[in-house]
Every structure is written in structure tokens, then in C-alpha cells.
Amino acid sequence: MYGKTKIVTAGAISFLLLLTAVIYWQGLDGPFLLDDYLNIVQSHVDSFSREEIYYAITHNESGLLGRPVSVLSLVLTGIVHGPDPWGYKYHNLLIHLLNGLLIFWLLVKLLPRLSPGTSVEKNLLVAGITSGIWLLHPLMVSTVLYAVQRMAQLSALFTLASLLVYIEARECSEKQLLKFYLLAYLAFPVCLLLSVFSKENGALIPVYILAIELIAYQLSPRDFINNKHISGFLAIFVFIPLTLGSVYLLTHLDSITNYALRDFNMGERLMTELRVVLMYVKMILLPRLADMTLFHDYIQVTRSFDMVTGLLLALFIAVIGLGFYLRKRVPVISFAIAWFVVSHLLESTIISLELMFEHRNYLAAVGPLFAVVYFLCNCKPFPKLQYVNAAFFLLVIMLTVTRVQEWTHRETIFNVAIMEHPDSYRAQTEMANLQYQAGNIQAAVEHLEIVQNLREQDFGPVIHQAVYLCGSGTDLTPWFEKAEERASQFPVTTYSLSALDNMVAVLNNGDCPELDPQDILSLVNVAKHQSVNLTSEQYLGFLEKIEGHVQLIIGNPQLSMSLMLSAYERTGMVIILENMVEVLLHFDRLTEAEQIINYISEINAESRGTETAILIPLQEQLEAAKRKREAN
């Protein structure tokens, strides 16, 4: 009987994996989007060049740690499959399938302790349905088919692997000590580090383990004292990291909770997240495609503590209390609550991140799905409720098929986003870019007019619109006046800096006869003296970079070099010096270009070769420029 159960289980899981792959397959032809360009397209490596791979790994600005494991994964995908999106999405799909297997395996391991009176067959059914719904849930589409979310996927992969290693080590801690030590002190820390260096969410692994210990293993002080192997492991990998993490949080609270460049403060974020988290639960358990989008910037910030916020806070506290209350009475529900809450501890609490993204539920969704599936499969008074699982399974399949089709084309993604959420400035901006690329200038300008109204504190959409009006004969002075008014009151954003960069590029190429370089310099000067910008070395550096580029264009090379070097000193980003060399070469300023290249060479020597990948091409470009000058 047990052998038959294993065969049926293996067949069912294989079917789920195959079905997931078939449904997602057409979505692999979808486009790169948003952050894909910075993290993938601009960092593409064609071959196994040690210098280029090393450069890509050490120069990614994502997160606190640069996420080198994820970056290496993306680089290897590019080498194997080339620069097209298909290969990246294909590998994302493979990781998604593997994560589904690990979720099934983890639940199979935990269910005998969470629900000891339930049969093996019923536990396998619960684990299989939960992992199957998770694999095919439409909420996962924006993680699997958004190439750069490899970072979230890999962190989840190694988090699940580390939890499975820990459970296996725990089970052999008394009789197989060699296996225990290999798993606990070799395999586990490797998985932990791989998760952390894929994305910072891996730092939550000790909290997941604490939840499993308290709920699944019902850890008590006596158990902790009596089992020296487990107590040693928990001390090293749970209690010490949590203590050090808490100390770090308290001593770096100002930087972690720096909201100077946000249009909300920490209190407003926390109040808003109460509503956002409830929306997450709704999207998981009552999925509706109209709620799901790549762009959730339309979320309104909760500015004051009103009655609704109070009720949501009371509900949140009640759910946490319920989790503690059910720890021994109904451990499954307690575990499901703990899993969801732990999964959101970093991205949905005090850290000054943006308010809402679907990929934050990639692992978190397991909790609510597990609770509902378990209840429906084990509700003895109403046994027919288990058929609701089948209906829900069919629903998520239909929704995911539709959403994957939507994600196959950039136009469809943006059109649906604007139709469902017209207040999303990112959706409107991306549609403007799409219209501009198609030659529909007026339509692009109209979308940016909407963005200007949605982003009244940002001069980015104003300059963006001015870029699109270049060559039309339009006097751009009113646009720069409007931009200066905003820049004097509000801090710069990544959008405004990007728009300025694009404007300077247009000026550099001579494609905007209506543009007066002094207008850009005046705008930059106003932004540099805005109160919040004065506190940000990074943003001041980017502004100086833009100013330096303009000064070179108008014939002030010495001032340009001074500004560019200051920009590098402020930001520490060698790419600024690389851009400077390229501009100097463009204007045939070979002496100045050689000086900067020599400076990069010194930096490269001090950093043990991290800049080799850009240094060699720059040297080659300089030599080619010298030969061209000599030939002329």
C-alpha cells in the first residue's frame, strides 16, 4: 500500500510540474521590463570572461549586499542563452518548479508534527494540493515572468533548502551524529549564505526556524536544555543571529528608516502596510486579475490614524494572538499565520521600501494557502468541502493561463495596467515610452501629462515630456520653469535623474535645437540646493555628473572634470568615470580621457582588479582614438 501511495504521489507531482511548465511556456517569449534593463541588459556578459563576470558580480547596486549569487545566476543565463529574455524566463520557470517541489517536501516533513493524528495519505494530499495551487497561482506570474525577480526566487529556493536541511539534521541529532554535524554545520550555513546573498530576505531563515521549533516541535525550555545538539545549533544559527540583528537594527535605525527621499514617513508606511497586507491576503485567497499588476504605485498612503486603520490594527493583533493561542491546539493554523507574518517582516514593516509589490508574496503565499487547503481537507462535519479545493485549483489555472497570455506582450501588460489602475504613474510612463518608440509623439506627451498630475512633487515627468518635444519647434522654457519650481521644493527621484540624463544625451547628440544648455544647468543648480538633496551624497553626486557632462558640451573641460571627479568621490561609482571617458573621447579630448583612464587604473589596482572589465575596453578606445587622430 505504501509503495502504491509513493507511485501515485510521484505521478501527481509530475503532472503538476508538467502542467505548470505548459501553462507558463508561451510567457517565456515575453519582454524585458523595468529593472531588467539595469540588472540584466546593461550587465550582459557574452562569454566566460573572468574580468567581466567579476565586474558584474561586484558592481550590482541591488539591496544592501549587492546580491552576488543572483547576479552570477543572471550572468550565466546570459552566457548560455544569449541576451534575449527567453533564456532568463526559462531559468526562472525551472527555479519555480524546483521551489514547488521543495514546498511539497517541506510540508510533507512538517505535517506529521503539525497534524499528528492525520493519515499519511491525507497529509500527502494536503501538501500536494497546497504546492500545486502555489505553483499555478496567478500571483506568481509577476515573479516568474519578470526576469529580475530571479533574486526573489533564488532567495526562496535557498531558504526552503536551508529549512529542509535543518529539519533533516534535527531528526538525526540523536542517532546519526556525523550526519547531523555535516548537515547542521556545513550544508545549512552554505544554504543560509546562498539565500542571503541572493536577496536579503534570507536573513529571515532564523525566524522561520524559531517558528518551526515553537509550533511544529513545540520546543520548551526543558527540551532546549536536554538536547545539547539542537540547543547548540539554535544558539549559533538562531539566537545569536537574532540578537546581533536586533543590535544592528537599533544601532542603524536612522539609516534603515531613512524616509527623506520618500513622500511618506515610517508611521504612514506602517499604517498603509496594514491595508497592503490585507490586499495581499485577498489576492492569495480570492484571486482576481483586476487586482494583480506589475505596477502598484497607485496605492494611496494612509496619512492619519482613522477608524479603518484602527480596525485593521486590531485585526492584525487579533490574528497574531490567534497564532499564539492555537500553537498547541491547532498547530497547522498557527504555523500558517507565522509563515505569512515572518515572510513579510523585512519588506512590509519599518524599512523605507516602496509600499507594495506582488513578489513579496512569493513565499508568503504558502501560509494562507496551506491553512485553507488543510481546513477543507479535514473538515469532518462537512466532508464535501474538500471539493472546494478542486474548484479553486481550476480557478487559479484559468486565471494564470489568462495572465501568462497578458505577460507575453509589453503592450498588453501596460494597457491592462492602465485600464484597471489609471492612477499608476509607472504604467502611464511606460505607455508613454511605448507610444514614443512607435512614433506616436502626441499620445506619448498626453500620457506624460497624466503622469505630471499624478506626480506633482517630481520634476521627472516634466523633463521627460520636454525630451519628447525636442525637434518639434516648441519653446521648452515653460517646461524648465515648471521643473525648477518642483525641484526647489521637493527632492530629486530616480525618475527625475533619469529624465535629466536623457535630456543631456539629446543635447549631446544635437537632436534638440530648442534646448538651451543653461536651462539644464539652472535646473541642476536649483536641485543641488534643495534641502533634502543636500543631505544625500548619492543624489548630489548624480547631479554633479549631469552638470559635468553639460559643462563639457558647452566647452568647459576643466570644470567638467572637476565636477565628474567630485561626483565619483560622492558616490564611489566608477561607472561615472567610465561615462566621463566616453564623453571625453566623443569630443576628442584625448589628454583628459587618458588622465581619467589612469585614475581608473589606480582604482583597479587598489580594488584587486574589480574594474578590469571596463578598464581594458576604455584603453582600447583611447588607443583607437589616438590612431585615428594620427591618421588624420
135-180 confidence digits (pLDDT tens): 999 999 999 999 999 999 999 999 999 999 999 999 887 788 899 8
| All three cell numbers of 68 | 552576488
Q: 580 lies in a domain?
A: no
* Predicted confidence band of residue 18 (pLDDT cuts 50, 70, 90): very high
Q: 497 lies in a domain?
A: no
Considering only 115-119, 190-194, 265-269, 463-467, which range has the smallest mean pLDDT? Answer: 115-119
| All three cell numbers of 117 | 493524528
**pLDDT value of residue 1:** 44
Q: 539 lies in a domain?
A: no
Length of the chain, in residues: 632
How far is Cα 622 from Cα 323, in angstroms, rounded to an integer?
65
Tally the domains of the chain: 1
Is the pLDDT assigned to residue 27 strictly greater than 90?
Answer: yes
Is the pLDDT assigned to residue 9 strictly greater than 90?
Answer: no
Task: Over range 463-491, report the average pLDDT.
Answer: 91
Is the pLDDT assigned to residue 320 strictly greater than 60?
Answer: yes
Task: Over range 342-358, report the average pLDDT.
Answer: 92
Q: 461 lies in a domain?
A: no
Residue-wise burial string across 202-213, b where 16 or more C-beta atoms lie within 10 A, e elsewhere: bbbbbbbbbbbb
The rounded Cα 89 to chain-centroid distance in angstroms is: 15
Q: 157 lies in a domain?
A: yes
Considering only 186-195, 271-280, 608-617, which range has the smallest mean pLDDT? Answer: 608-617
- All residues at 6 or more sequence positions from 384 whose CB lies less than 8 Å from its CB, including other chains: none
Task: Over range 368-386, report the average pLDDT.
Answer: 86
How far is Cα 293 from Cα 279, in angstroms, rounded to an integer?
13
Percent of the chain with pLDDT over 90: 62
**pLDDT value of residue 10:** 87
How far is Cα 181 from Cα 229, in angstroms, rounded to an integer?
9
**pLDDT value of residue 417:** 92
Is the pLDDT assigned to residue 377 strictly greater than 70?
Answer: yes
Tell me the one-letter amino acid at 238: V
Tell me the one-letter amino acid at 266: M
**pLDDT value of residue 461:** 94
How far is Cα 614 from Cα 371, in angstroms, rounded to an integer?
52
Look at the block and give the residue holding cell 536577496.
199
Q: 303 lies in a domain?
A: yes
Q: 365 lies in a domain?
A: yes
How far is Cα 161 from Cα 69, in angstroms, rounded to an integer?
15
Q: Which ranges of 26-119 would DSSP assign to H, the alpha helix?
A: 36, 50-58, 68-81, 85-114
Q: 481 lies in a domain?
A: no
Considering only 215-229, 301-315, 361-375, 415-429, which range has the smallest mean pLDDT? Answer: 215-229
Q: Which domain holds residue 387?
A: 2-406
Question: Of 457, 421, 462, 426, nearest to 445 (Cα)?
Answer: 462
Is the pLDDT assigned to residue 3 strictly greater than 70?
Answer: no
Is the pLDDT assigned to residue 217 strictly greater than 80?
Answer: yes
Handedness of CA 131, 136, 138, 142 (dihedral sign): positive
**pLDDT value of residue 2:** 57
Q: Write the pLDDT tens digit of every residue in 147-158.
A: 999 999 999 999
CA dist 213 → 64, 320, 462 (Å): 29, 17, 54
Is the pLDDT assigned to residue 227 strictly greater than 60?
Answer: yes
Cα-trace Rg, the chain: 27
Is the pLDDT assigned to residue 327 strictly greater than 50?
Answer: yes
Is the pLDDT assigned to residue 402 strictly greater than 70?
Answer: yes
Are the C-beta atoms of 163 and 156 separated by less than 8 Å? no
Between CA 210 and CA 215, with CA 212 as vertex, the angle to 5 degrees is 105
